[in-house]
Every structure is written in structure tokens, then in C-alpha cells.
């Protein structure tokens, strides 16, 4: 609830609502007074809440606990900044947080938080801006939608490839990729607002480009 700056839970069955964090304080004894911008259940009863300026909160619904994580300029294992939004997880328990405009932070229970603020390929192309979406199949290779391209980032080797602008499709050189997801054939779908959808195979080759025609929406 933005006007109240409170997290509200709505029961869709009986349409009743309540405020689960109303009586909670974090590990420092501070009450929750943040605007929630995104939320995801990362394991049963455990939620990540991103906020507009106060980093992230980990809410344990079963134990009624709240833990706040923020950026600390003196600590490279802290959150990359205090304005996160995008949340995604892999199958092994790692959680990835996209934090505009400084890249991503990633963590796992009982593991150190990592940061990746600059993505660079072998040709010297680099990116350090907005992260809109993240997807992975193998928990090593991550596909990241950004303000002007689709990145393929290998977390083990810290190597990056810039994919969309190298494809032979008729789109502007710099355009946002705002959502990425895999289908059941392991193909990657990348949405480019106002342009269409690219479908790539496992070798990053173009399978098809669903072009958005303003006068014929049957092409989408």
C-alpha cells in the first residue's frame, strides 16, 4: 500500500487484508517503513522484499522475523545499492537481485553476497546500467535483459556476450530487452518493447523473430 507505506496481504478467497509487518522490527530494532517495489517467495515461507530506497528485507513468515540488507560502501559483500527491484532464483538456492543502476547482487543462505556491477566482453563492450530480467537453465550461464541488449553472462568465468545487437534482425542498434524466459525446448525468448520477440536456441542462434507490426498485430 504505497499511500500508507505498508506491506498489505490480500486473501483472494475472502477479500480480507492484513499487514504482516505491522508489529515487526528488523535485526537493528527498526520498524518497517519502506515502500515495497517487488516481492518473491524464494523458499517456503521466506520472502525477499525490495524497497524504493532501503535495500532488501528477508521476511520469514513462519518465524515472524525480518532482516534488512543494505549497501555498505566499505563492505564489498553488501548489497550493490539500496534501490533494488528485479528478483530471480536458480534451482540451487541462489538469489539474484537487479539493482539500478549498479548491476546485480547475488546471495545464498550461509554464503557471501556477491556483486557484478560491470559486464564486459572480449571486444571491450561493457555495460553497467539497468537490469530488467534474469533467466538461467544451468545455474552457471545467466541471460540478462538490459536497457540496450541481451547479455549472456557466465558466472564461473565472469565472461559476457552481447547477443541481440549481433543478430541479423531489423531493430534499432540500442533497444531495451525488458523480459527473458526459457520455454520447455530450452529456447530463450527475449522481449524487445515496440519491436517484437527474439527466440534463440542453445547456441544463441536466432530461431525466429516475431516482429511487432503496428498495422497487423497477428504477427506478434
pLDDT for 14 equals: 92
Determine contact, residues 152/163, Cβ cutoff 8 Å. Answer: yes
| Type and span of the H or E element at 161 | strand 159-162
The per-residue pLDDT for range 122-162, each reduced to its tens digit, is: 877 777 777 888 899 998 899 998 888 899 999 888 899 99
Residue 44 in grid coordinates: 517456503
pLDDT at 100 (0 to 100): 66
Alpha helices (H) along the chain: none
Give the closest residue to 161 by CA, choosing from 175, 151, 146.
Answer: 151
Cell 528485479: give the residue.
86
pLDDT of residue 215: 47
Q: Give the Å distances, CA to CA, from 105 to 42, 99, 142.
A: 15, 7, 13
What is the tens place of the pLDDT at every residue in 180-198? 999 999 999 999 887 889 9
Pairing of strands 46-51, 126-127: unpaired
Q: Of 108, 126, 68, nearest to 117 (Cα)?
A: 126
Ramachandran bin of 215, using left for φ above 0, alpha for ψ from -120 to 50, beta for the remaining angles: alpha
Distances (CA, A) of 116 to 160, 200, 207: 11, 24, 30
Q: What is the pLDDT of residue 220?
A: 41
Whether the ω angle into residue 101 lies within 30 degrees of 0, i.e. cis, is yes
Q: Give the three-class secondary structure for 133.
A: strand
pLDDT in the model for residue 210: 87
| pTM, two decimal places | 0.56
Q: Which residues in the chain show pLDDT less than 50?
A: 173, 214-220
Amino acid at each position: 500500500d504505497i499511500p500508507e507505506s505498508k506491506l498489505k496481504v490480500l486473501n483472494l478467497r475472502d477479500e480480507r487484508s492484513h499487514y504482516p509487518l505491522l508489529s515487526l522490527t528488523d535485526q537493528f530494532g527498526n520498524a518497517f517503513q519502506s515502500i515495497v517495489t517487488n516481492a518473491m517467495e524464494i523458499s517456503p515461507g521466506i520472502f525477499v522484499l525490495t524497497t524504493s530506497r532501503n535495500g532488501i528485507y528477508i521476511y520469514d513468515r513462519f518465524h515472524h522475523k525480518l532482516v534488512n540488507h543494505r549497501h555498505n560502501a566499505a563492505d564489498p559483500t553488501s548489497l550493490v545499492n539500496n534501490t533494488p527491484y528485479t528478483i530471480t532464483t536458480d534451482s540451487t538456492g541462489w538469489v539474484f537481485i537487479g539493482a539500478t543502476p549498479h548491476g546485480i547482487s547475488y546471495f545464498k543462505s550461509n554464503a557471501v553476497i556477491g556483486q557484478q556491477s560491470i559486464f564486459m566482453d572480449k571486444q571491450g563492450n561493457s555495460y553497467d546500467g539497468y537490469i530488467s530480467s534474469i533467466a538461467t537453465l544451468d545455474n552457471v550461464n545467466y541471460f540478462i535483459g538490459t536497457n540496450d541488449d541481451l547479455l549472456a553472462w557466465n558466472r564461473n568465468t565472469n565472461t559476457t556476450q552481447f547477443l541481440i545487437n549481433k543478430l541479423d534482425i531489423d531493430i534499432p542498434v540500442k533497444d531495451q530487452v525488458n523480459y527473458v524466459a526459457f520455454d520447455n525446448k530450452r529456447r530463450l525468448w527475449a522481449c524487445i518493447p515496440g519491436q517484437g520477440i527474439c527466440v534463440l536456441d542453445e547456441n544463441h542462434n536466432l530461431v525466429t523473430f516475431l516482429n511487432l507490426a503496428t498495422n497487423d498485430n497477428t504477427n506478434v
